[in-house]
A and B are shown apart, each in its own frame.
Chain A
Amino acid sequence: MSDLPLIQADRAVPPPAATTSTGGRGRRLRLLSRTDRVVITLMVLVPLLLVVGLVWLPAVATVLLSGTDWDGIGPVGEIDWVGLQNYDNVVNNYPPFGPAVQNNLLWLAALFVVATPFGMFLAVLLDKEIRGSRFYQTALYLPVVLSLALIGFVWQLIYSRDQGLLNAVLGTQTDWYGDSNVNIWAVLFAAGWRHVGYIMLLYLAGLKGVDPSLREAAAVDGSSETSTFFRVVFPVMRPINIIVLVVTVIESLRAFDLVWVINKGRNGLELLSALVTSNVVGEASRIGFGSALATIMLVVSLVFITLYLFTVMREDRR
């Protein structure tokens, strides 16, 4: 039975599409009873309907709605098509848009330039066999188990103007969450605090998977630890580097909870995600306009999701 075609003998050469009854595929399908075929179909179909219905169709609908002036009232048939007018309004007639894009980019830059490299650096340090490594690791990724909303609260104890630790220690009177000149930095610090632990964990797992003989070979050749890392280990870790990059981008695009618990993303804490939300559940229900904002988020994230999928699937096939 070893050449039973149903078994994945060779994943690199997948058989042709299902349902055709020609060639080998037909013989394979006949090996399955009718009940089995129904079971397989259900096993895929039920979850697929859920994900398509609640994720992918809404994603398509968002893009379609962004070309309309629908206010959410009245039948769908009466929706007017307005082309790119919403995008024009978003960019040119919507004061919070500029700050939101700026804050999203700032978020990305802070995570990408500071938090992510620091997390990677800590992972490299913890990858050495040192005493107490478990304690250090635990301390670093403890914030990862807390929700971002909760982190907003925990850091309020430090940032609060009258009762916060920071002002008590510095002798200042800054309202760290309320002052629109400084609050984005205060929030970024808290977000980075959590991000570092997460990246450290991902990267540490990646480092553990690097073939030790590579390092040994480099050491035998007289390479220093630093140059071994940059010339040998880092390039080998290309897939995990890409995953870390994509995780960082997506996290900065999806950032929401923290600013929403602080002030619903206003007064210095504008983010695209918060603008979309307040355009829909807030006082004004501007569907088409909100959808244009959402589409912008969607398009940017899809670029990086695609990059991610290519990376993990290629790994997968190896």
Chain B
Amino acid sequence: MTATGIREPSVGTAGRPHRPVRPARVVLHLFLGVVAVGWLFPILWAVLTSLRSYDYTARNGYVSLGGWTLDNYTTAWKTAEFGKHFLNSVYITVPAVLLTLFLASCVAFVIARFSWKLNIVLLGLFTAANLLPQQALLIPLFRLFTQVPLPEWMSDSELLYDSYWGLILVNVAFQCGFCVFVLSNYMKALPHELYEAAMVDGASVWRQYWQVTMPLCRPALAALATLEVTWIYNEFFWATVLMRTGDKFPVTSSLNNLRGEFFTDNNLVSAGSVLVAIPTLVIFFLLQKQFVRGLTLGASKG
């Protein structure tokens, strides 16, 4: 998170002309520093609050120091049953991300590899689907999900509604568009000669996809996987409306239930918030490059 790796601009050999003089630089750094700290502040405040006891802050106010404790975390974990909800998030996020990447890469491969006239229509259908407001599709989807039966071993509601399957499908359908868009652009940039060589060797279309194209797309796939994990983990709306049983909510949507329980205790609210944020923060700090690359690869995503 420091300046390491960033090119040190040496005065005189600057890459760009008209480098401002020193005082301007100082003002710039001051400004950016204040903004950056201001931006981090709400998150740091949540962490700070989560580490203090309710009694202490109730007595001395939140603008004080002291009362350090980790109890809020254990209490929040137990009351809100975070273990269970994290597991629900895993059940939904992992299959949804894998399925999204697989299906999207199939479509993207066909779009990039063959030039049918319908390609542009296909690309438009997928990309636009990702940008539609989800609430505008809620009514028919809600009805549909309550009508589609599932066997009991798949869903104890015996419906697509209130099942992990339903949420996985709806997340895949919505996220496919973004991945198709990014991957097809990426695949179009691969050299044609690869496929010529593959065809000379008699490789089938499937082999050209699976053994030639996919390995070359690893960087894009890694970037998209990182991004999709955070998006689907953060997904709130579909889980809220297409799930009924509180026990089956993924962690982001279970937040809504927690609110009532924690309402009077901000220290618990903050501990809960930090717990929910941890997986995305870990991913972000470990795979920051991938995350940013993913977002800017498409430079889209509404």
Contacts and interface: CB of A to CB of B under 8 A. Distances in A.
A and B bind: yes
Interface of A: 1-2, 4, 6-9, 11, 14-18, 32-33, 35-36, 39-40, 43-44, 46-48, 50-59, 61-62, 65, 72, 122, 125-126, 128-136, 138-150, 153-158, 160, 163-165, 168-169, 193, 196-197, 201-202, 204-206, 212, 215-216, 219-220, 224-225, 240, 243, 246-247, 250-251, 253-254, 256-257, 260-261, 272-274, 276-277, 280-281, 287, 290-291, 294-295, 297-298, 301-302, 305-306, 308-309, 312-313, 316
B205 A39 contact: yes
B157 interface: no
Nearest to B109: A43
Residue of A125, A139, A204 with most partner-chain B CB within 10 A: A139
A53 B166 CA distance: 13
Interface string B25-67: 1001101110111011011011001000000010001110000
Nearest to A41: B110
Nearest to A169: B63
B135 A59 contact: no
B110 A305 contact: no
Interface in B232-281: 233-237, 240-241, 252-253, 255-256, 259, 266, 269-270, 272-273, 276-277, 280-281
Given A131-B3, A131-B6, A201 B110 contact: no
A7 B300 CA distance: 28
Contact of B204 (A35, A134, A201, A291): A35
Contacts of A205: 295-296, 299
A50 B255 contact: no
A280 B63 contact: no
A15 B115 contact: yes
Contact of B141 (A15, A58, A130, A202): A58
Nearest to A301: B133
Given A147-B236, A150-B273, A50 B176 contact: yes
B interface bracket (residues with beta carbon within 8 Å of A): 35 or more
Contacts of B57: 163
Nearest to A61: B140
B184 to A, nearest CB: 9
B277 A150 contact: yes
A120 B150 CA distance: 48
A47 B140 contact: no
A136 B119 contact: no
A47 B25 contact: no
B99 to A, nearest CB: 9
Most buried by A among B140, B283, B300: B140
A136 to B, nearest CB: 5
B169 to A, nearest CB: 6
Interface string B89-128: 0000000000000011011011011111111101111111
Interface string B179-218: 0110001001000100110011000111001000000000
Contact of B192 (A7, A50, A308): A7
A153 B110 contact: no
B21 interface: no
A267 B37 CA distance: 33
A308 B39 contact: no
22 contacts: A8-B113, A8-B188, A11-B188, A15-B115, A15-B117, A47-B103, A50-B176, A52-B125, A55-B129, A56-B125, A61-B140, A130-B9, A134-B3, A136-B35, A138-B288, A145-B230, A145-B280, A146-B280, A148-B234, A150-B255, A153-B272, A297-B135
